[in-house]
Amino acid sequence: MNRIQNDNSHYYADLPNFTFIQRIFCSLLILIASSFSPIWAAPAKVALIHSNPVLGDVPTNISVLESLVEEAFDSGANIIVTPELATTGFSITQNQVLTDLGFTDPYPELDSIRDLAITNQGYVIVAIAEVAAAQKVYNTVAVYGPTGLITTSRKRGLSGWHERGDVPIDIITTPYGDIAYIICSDSYLPDWLRIATLKGADLLLLPANWWGSFGQEEIWQTRARENGVWFFTANRWGTEVDERFGFPFTYYMDDAPSTFITPNGKIELIHRAESDPVPANKILYYDVDVPQYRIGTTDNPVYSVNFRKPEAYSEIANLYYRPDLDNQPAPGLPTAGVTQAASMAYKPSLFASVNLAKIQNTWAQNAGNADVLVLPGFGLTAFPINSSNPAWHTYGSWAQLQQFVEQNGLELLVTSALEFQSYNSNLRQSLVILRPNQAPELRGQIHSAIVGEGTGVAPTVIDLPNARVGVLLGRDALFPETATHLAKSGIDLLLVTSAVGANDTLDNVDAPNYFWDVDALLRMWKTRTNHVFHLAASDWTGNGAVIENTYGIIGRLEITDASTALKVLDVDSNTVRTKFLNAYYSFDLESLLESQ
């Protein structure tokens, strides 16, 4: 696809050779400029149509959509998004699509909406059921613009009646920003939005049929923040009777949220029809200014986009847990069973003796009993370790922490520390992995940061008696690819020792998205468990969590903080051995794993 290039594309052209500080400095300059100079921004009004499609009544639904699209354009909208399956309703069958409800390219049933896009020189995303070649049916969005039908995209996740989408995730460049479009639950895992981001997406448009209060907006907030995109969800309302399975079942959809979310993950607007005295069709509007330097380029100031290490995510390409290959598991997994996973929360002192006393006292006061324990980043000390000295761990507080592990029957304890390998070498943050009767291991950071170059080495995996465990630094966990890699490696439990939360002195520091506020961190940890594993995490702000995943959803969530410094959950690997991950085409893997 030909993409518009503008005169600002040079801003990031040489960034791979920049130091981290230089990259951040450039990012901040661009962000400041885009805030104050009109020539740096492309203002647009986005409209979300929150409608109630009538099941099976295509003519009525198109008529309603035409009226709402016209109203939105008359109100100044430049970009308009409809709910998923806006022309048919949700509870449809393959046979209905083939015989009555499906549209075939170039979708003449939507000519009136096409003409509105042409007349108003705007963009409309219409979600339909499609009949394609060889009588295959798809859950599709048709994208209209100033020249008519521009492109289509097909849902990747399966919903029973349609095929898996078979066209690449792509974007279109508009005067208002580069637009990506994926459908509903395709946002549940990070892959498709990540691909769109790597191709330059600025605005992510999500037609949805996602009702209930299951934290879907938290998923969307995480997706927006880890990718640095404006995220727009057009959902639906109403009730619908599903008779596909031999008995009528009524869906209540008035609790389905439509949202506007900024690139830092902030919800600017959220609407559910049940909030209105009388639910009705509604158009939601939001004004967005995409910096001009981003439009037509892949430029994106966000840390977890710019500092990817694709060589570290190679397991994404393996054939395990693919729904199209019978969900074959990773080989050699430990015997399934229960593991006691614990998070300890505190704000680490600079002094190891203070932190060690905190660990010991918190454990004793809470009658600690666990198999694995995750401490915050720099949980023992922030003073560097000279790893060129093979005896670094045999004296002082590190030796005492090793004794703590052995005396309390821990199978695994993780934290982080600064490491240098010689007196003239650079510092880097490293995992510190302690196990009984073994010398501690240091595993360097995967991704480059202010302190230290990234190793690009794959995430750490450790097999315990009843669980395969993945271990990440908090900064490495900001990259969703690490979670996908670990899930496809077969982990049952993820441990995150984190030093990325904004604390008192870092409050409101974005830099951009280099430090995450506590609420955003918790949302991210919860969203990571969508890969179907348990999680225990602790951040240097004194906040953490232990999360049990039960067959793909959160079963239990325990928070650790100043009031409750230690939490332990018995997590069973049996509930996470069947994972629900994506199947990839070769062009998907090229996007995810090739260096940008």
pLDDT tens-place string over residues 435-448: 999 999 999 999 99
Phi and psi at residue 521, to the nearest 5°: -60, -45
Residue 548: inside a domain:
yes
| CB neighbours of residue 360 within 10 Å | 16
Verify that 203 and 282 share a domain, yes or no: yes
Model confidence at 35: pLDDT above 80? no
Residue 3: inside a domain:
no
Structure tokens at 233: 């969800």
Mean pLDDT of 164-190: 97
- pLDDT-based confidence at residue 14 (cuts at 50, 70, 90): very low
- Residue 539's DSSP bridge partners are 498, 543
Residue 467: inside a domain:
yes
Strands 258-261 and 412-420: unpaired
Rg (CA), the chain: 25
Structure tokens at 208: 């949805």
pLDDT of residue 293: 93
Model confidence at 511: pLDDT above 80? no
Model confidence at 172: pLDDT above 90? yes
Model confidence at 13: pLDDT above 50? no
Mean pLDDT of 315-326: 95
Model confidence at 61: pLDDT above 50? yes
Mean pLDDT of 165-178: 96
Verify that 35 and 166 share a domain, yes or no: yes
Q: What whole-number distance in Å separates Cα of residue 542 and Cα of residue 544? A: 7
Higher-pLDDT residue of 513 and 280 is 280
Verify that 352 and 228 share a domain, yes or no: no
Verify that 296 and 393 share a domain, yes or no: no
How high is the mean pLDDT of the chain?
A: 92
Percent of the chain with pLDDT over 90: 86
What's the whole-model pTM score?
0.92
pLDDT of residue 504: 58
Verify that 282 and 321 share a domain, yes or no: no
Mean pLDDT of 158-165: 92
Q: List, edge to edge, every strand of the sheet that includes 171-174.
A: 171-174, 177-181, 203-207, 230-234, 258-261, 267-271
Verify that 317 and 240 share a domain, yes or no: no
pLDDT of residue 37: 39
Domain count, the chain: 2
Verify that 288 and 344 share a domain, yes or no: no
Model confidence at 555: pLDDT above 70? yes
pLDDT digits (tens, 9 = 90+) for 183-226: 999 999 999 999 999 999 999 999 999 999 889 999 999 999 99
Mean pLDDT of 372-389: 95
Q: What whole-number distance in Å separates Cα of residue 172 and Cα of residue 2? A: 9
pLDDT digits (tens, 9 = 90+) for 487-504: 999 999 999 999 999 865
**439 DSSP 8-state letter:** -
- Residue 341's DSSP bridge partners are 372, 569
Verify that 258 and 382 share a domain, yes or no: no
> Crossing angle for the helix pair 111-120 and 58-74, nearest 10 degrees?
10
Verify that 288 and 316 share a domain, yes or no: no
Higher-pLDDT residue of 38 and 8 is 38
Verify that 464 and 447 share a domain, yes or no: yes
Q: Which domain does 56 fall in, by range?
A: 18-306
Closest CA to 197 of 165, 164, 231, 163: 231
pLDDT digits (tens, 9 = 90+) for 266-319: 999 999 999 999 999 999 999 999 999 999 999 999 999 999 999 999 999 999
Residue 9: inside a domain:
no
Verify that 301 and 348 share a domain, yes or no: no
pLDDT of residue 439: 95
3-state secondary structure 168-205: CCCEEEECCEEEEECCHHHHCCCHHHHHHHHCCCCEEE
pLDDT digits (tens, 9 = 90+) for 118-154: 999 999 999 999 999 999 999 999 999 999 999 999 9
Higher-pLDDT residue of 16 and 578 is 578
Model confidence at 10: pLDDT above 70? no
Closest CA to 163 of 208, 130, 196: 130
Residue 4: inside a domain:
no
Please check whether residue 329 is in contact with residue 322, taking contact to mean a CB–CB distance below 8 angstroms: no
Residue 332: inside a domain:
no
pLDDT digits (tens, 9 = 90+) for 346-369: 999 999 999 999 999 999 998 889
Please check whether residue 469 is in contact with residue 433, taking contact to mean a CB–CB distance below 8 angstroms: no
| Residue type at 553 in one-letter notation | I
Mean pLDDT of 358-382: 95
Please check whether residue 591 is in contact with residue 195, taking contact to mean a CB–CB distance below 8 angstroms: yes
Greatest C-alpha distance within the chain: 78
Model confidence at 16: pLDDT above 90? no
Residue 319: inside a domain:
yes
Verify that 243 and 346 share a domain, yes or no: no
CATH number at residue 193: 3.60.110.10
Residue 258: inside a domain:
yes
Model confidence at 75: pLDDT above 50? yes
H helical segments located in 380-459:
396-407
